[in-house]
Amino acid sequence: MKFAIMINEGPYTHQAADSAYLFARAVLAKGHEVTRVFFYHDGVNNATRLTVPPADDRHIVNRWSELAKAHDLDLVVCIAAAQRRGLMDENEAKRQGKDANNIAPGFRISGLGQLVEAGIQSDRLVVFGD
């Protein structure tokens, strides 16, 4: 079965990010496919490379990056939601005249069309968070 995952809440403020990560891991472990993980609204905060949790806490951003690398996952961050929250990749930072970028490895910025496409290409779209 093919799953697309949408995350609407940020890390450390809501269970959605942790639940989505654990769901994705479980799906992959059972031999299913994750066609895309789409980060929307405050969920885009799961993609910032500047997150530094305490040493004894889980590092949600790194978990996503590592899972994406291990399973060749497509982690897509909504460009409009990201810009509102100050998240940019290198290209967007240059375009906006900013001197830095902060997208973690394995994530990419794109539009809502990627969510629609993921929904079409998947058997199920599972949404985490409001």
Catalytic residues: 78
Q: Which residues contact 42 (CB under 8 A, 6 or more apart)?
A: 8, 9, 10, 13, 14, 81, 85, 129
Q: Which residues contact 9 (CB under 8 A, 6 or more apart)?
A: 15, 16, 17, 41, 42, 43, 128, 129, 130
Q: At what angle do helices 16-29 and 60-71 cross, to 10 degrees?
A: 20
DSSP at 103: B
* Inter-CA distances, 83 with 9, 34, 71, 78, 89, Å: 16, 26, 27, 9, 10
